[in-house]
């Protein structure tokens, strides 16, 4: 991830808080593969935007709004991972990279369509298998 966006930060913070109960600058820097100075800068910006509460030397946590946004971004990521795994049957690392590349460009309406399609695929595996086979040129 070259330059993580504000959305990436919120998503990763949500994952850290969900898994460990807290997030700190060092963990975030490690996850994002960037310097702690860059992370501190973004954390201050998220604080200024009302998404994190930040106290110098004491770390940070989500505001209500930040938590909701973080969770929404995490769910979006997971929904896309599930869908593109269904679609491409690609290995997890490849699907992850794909999702990281496109997730910021999809609005709520498109996400709702993808989510519904993904649920439909799950509920109708026979139908989906037929589709994949015909798309492969292997149809009936």
Which residues, including other chains, have CB under 8 Å from residue 69's CB and lie 6 or more apart? 10, 51
Q: Which residue is nearest to Ca ion (CB)?
A: 77
In the bound state with Ca ion, the residue whose beta carbon lies nearer, of 3 and 140, is 3
Name the segment binding Ca ion (CB under 5 A); options: 21-29, 75-83, 84-92, 119-127.
Answer: 75-83
Name the segment binding Ca ion (CB under 5 A); options: 22-30, 37-45, 76-84, 123-131.
Answer: 76-84
Q: How far is the CB of 8 from Ca ion (least distance, A)?
A: 6
Q: How far is the CB of 109 from Ca ion (least distance, A)?
A: 19
Asked whether position 82 contacts Ca ion by CB under 5 A, the answer is: no
Of 85, 133, 103, the C-alpha closest to 7 is 103
Of 111, 112, 116, 113, the C-alpha closest to 99 is 111
**Site for Ca ion (CB under 5 A): which residue of 77, 85, 114, 118?**
77
The 37-66 site mask, x for binding Ca ion (CB under 5 A), equals ------------------------------
Q: Give yes or no for a contact between 31 and 22, defined as CB atoms under 8 angstroms apart.
A: no
Which residues, including other chains, have CB under 8 Å from residue 36's CB and lie 6 or more apart? 25, 26, 29
Of 39, 41, 64, 40, the C-alpha closest to 52 is 64
Q: Which residues bind Ca ion (CB under 5 A)?
A: 11, 77
């Amino acid at each position: 991830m070259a330059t993580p966006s504000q959305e990436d930060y919120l998503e990763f913070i949500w994952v850290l808080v969900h898994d460990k109960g807290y997030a700190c600058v060092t963990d975030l820097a490690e996850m994002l593969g960037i310097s702690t100075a860059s992370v501190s800068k973004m954390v201050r910006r998220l604080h200024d935007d009302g998404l994190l509460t930040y106290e110098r030397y004491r770390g940070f946590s989500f505001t209500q709004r930040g938590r909701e946004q973080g969770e929404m971004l995490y769910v979006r990521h997971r929904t896309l991972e599930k869908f593109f795994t269904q679609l491409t049957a690609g290995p997890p690392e490849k699907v992850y990279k794909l999702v990281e590349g496109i997730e910021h460009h999809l609005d709520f309406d498109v996400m709702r369509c993808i989510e519904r399609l993904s649920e439909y695929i799950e509920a109708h595996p026979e139908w989906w298998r037929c589709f994949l086979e015909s798309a492969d040129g292997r149809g009936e």
